[in-house]
Amino acid sequence: MENQKILEAHERQLKFSRLLAKIGRNNPLGKLICLRAYFLDLPVLTQQWRDYLYVRKEQISDKFLGLDQAIIHTSYADAKRLVETVPQQRDNYLGPLKINARSFFLGNPLSLGTNGNEHAGIRALFFHALPKPEETTEVLATLANQGLASVAKQGTMNVKTDLPKIIVALLHELVFNLKLSEAEIAGSAAYSANLGLATVPNIVHNTLLRKKTQPHIQHRQRLIESYKKSPKYQEYLAFGATHQLNEQQVANSLFDMIHVAGTAGTSDLLASVFSVLCQNEPLRANVISEIDAVWNCQDTPNAQTLAQLQLTEKVILETARLYPPVRFLNQMSTEAMEVEIGGQRCPFQKGTRLVASVFTAHRDPKKYESPDTFKTTRDHSDILSWNGSNPERNCPGRALSIALVKLFCLYALKHYQWRSFSGGEWDMKKFAPFKPNLVLDGFARRSD
């Protein structure tokens, strides 16, 4: 019955596409049809995202229609081709979500949604603001240890709620040298957790949802105001100016870098790595042996310590393959083309959203042998979790996030302990940040 709903929703998409072929999509009626297609299809995806992908993939074809008349590409080969396309045209999308509520972002687009010089300038700012992990390992180590210590005070670690708080506080210290208050940390974690609200059009935000969205918008306003106190603020503004970015663009892009990209991505990945290590005892023992071989547990780990954690790195990459924090990557077609969907020729127009489905790509048997099995011996050089190797669009925080996850593993496994764990499963139905429901009970600092 559920499968039938997924297929019926696709039939509806095909009808819309025939209509759009006649009237065009870049006019008010075409836009309305795309919006209707999106709001009819999105609930099917958000309620059962994995089946949505696999039922359509298996019963229709590797590529199918979805969301706002997007073409969703599920094979590794197609996803990689999309990811590597240069130059890439984007619009304001975050994963499957179209960001309709600009007010949630104080009127700014996400960096992901910008193009050309504006995007190049914002990216230059990201690389400027993010420290190189090999030059700052000791600082990162201290911050990671502090983060775990703050959770140990509670006696329990709920990875879903605690890790985003640790990471958002850590990234503010790193990028702005600002120590957030408890209330600010809670506000920032809530902001990231409620990004789904941004999919609703502005008009609904300002009326029906006002009570729900206002606290998040006000938090963003206040925090951005507080960035002015950072010793690095003026320097970021000056750097931004050399790329024709004004104060609003600089502050908002850095806010999104921390809240949307950095916190969500890293806390999801770290949660998944913790879950893998909790559930797989032999693997955990091997990781601990590796740590023992390179670290005396006393000195602050340095870049060389991290470089030697090769098995740990493989665990992180294999986890990122099986549980990619970012499951959907978007770009807009730059010309009208045709695609075959379930044996039917389907013309599509310039400006159509093309989606790479990273989850299915990473579990494509044509690319990975026994794709659902966790194996640290795989070649991870071309996984798509950090958006591949496209220099124009890949993740600026890749190296930093891997270094951070290594450090959290190192401290958690050697300086902390927990009595038991519960959960550890990933939700394959409801679309939400892709992290397990793991809880570590009796989480405490070791006495030795």
Q: What is the spatial distance between Cα 444 and Cα 412, in angstroms, rounded to a whole number? A: 10
CB of residue 85 to ligand HEM, shortest distance in Å: 11
Asked if 75 and 53 count as a contact pair (C-beta separation under 8 A), the reply is no
Closest among 136, 141, 129 to 175, alpha carbons compared: 129
Which three-class secondary structure state does DSSP give residue 342? coil
- List the one residue from 223, 368, 387, 439 that touches ligand HEM (CB under 6 A): 387
Residue 29 has φ and ψ, to the nearest 5°, of -70, -40
Pick the stretch among 146-154, 336-344, 390-398, 419-427 that binds ligand HEM (CB under 6 A).
390-398
Place of tokens 């032999």: 282
- List the one residue from 386, 418, 421, 431 that touches ligand HEM (CB under 6 A): 386
> Residue 265, interface with ligand HEM (CB under 6 A)?
yes
- List the one residue from 160, 401, 411, 421 that touches ligand HEM (CB under 6 A): 401
- Judged by beta carbon, residue 20 or residue 99, the one nearer ligand HEM is 99
Q: How many of the chain's residues bind ligand HEM (CB under 6 A)?
A: 25
Place of tokens 């045709």: 338
- Judged by beta carbon, residue 17 or residue 192, the one nearer ligand HEM is 192
CB of residue 155 to ligand HEM, shortest distance in Å: 27
Residues in the chain: 448
Pick the stretch among 146-154, 319-327, 365-373, 435-443 that binds ligand HEM (CB under 6 A).
319-327
* Residues whose CB is less than 8 angstroms from the CB of residue 186 and which lie 6 or more positions away in sequence, other chains included: 165
CB of residue 164 to ligand HEM, shortest distance in Å: 12
Q: What is the spatial distance between Cα 30 and Cα 349, in angstroms, rounded to a whole number? A: 11
CB of residue 262 to ligand HEM, shortest distance in Å: 3
Give the distance, in angstroms, between the CA of residue 179 and the centroid of all CA atoms in the same chain: 24
- List the one residue from 269, 287, 322, 341 that touches ligand HEM (CB under 6 A): 269
Pick the stretch among 73-81, 134-142, 158-166, 397-405 that binds ligand HEM (CB under 6 A).
397-405
Q: What is the spatial distance between Cα 337 and Cα 82, in angstroms, rounded to a whole number? A: 14
Pick the stretch among 155-163, 259-267, 285-293, 415-423 that binds ligand HEM (CB under 6 A).
259-267
- Judged by beta carbon, residue 75 or residue 272, the one nearer ligand HEM is 272
CB of residue 310 to ligand HEM, shortest distance in Å: 18
Give the distance, in angstroms, between the CA of residue 103 and the centroid of all CA atoms in the same chain: 21
Verify cis geometry, omega within 30 degrees of 0, for the bond prior to 87: yes
Q: Quick one: how many helices (H) and strands (E) in the chain?
A: 18, 13
> Residue 42, interface with ligand HEM (CB under 6 A)?
no
Looking at residues 124 to 143 of the shown chain, list those that interact with ligand HEM (rule: CB under 6 A): 126, 130
Asked if 314 and 376 count as a contact pair (C-beta separation under 8 A), the reply is yes
Tokens coding 296? 């005396």
Name the pairing type of β-strands 70-73 and 353-357: parallel
- Judged by beta carbon, residue 30 or residue 265, the one nearer ligand HEM is 265
> Which residues here bind ligand HEM, judged by CB under 6 A?
111-112, 123, 126, 130, 257, 261-262, 265-266, 269, 320, 325-326, 329-330, 385-387, 393, 395-397, 400-401
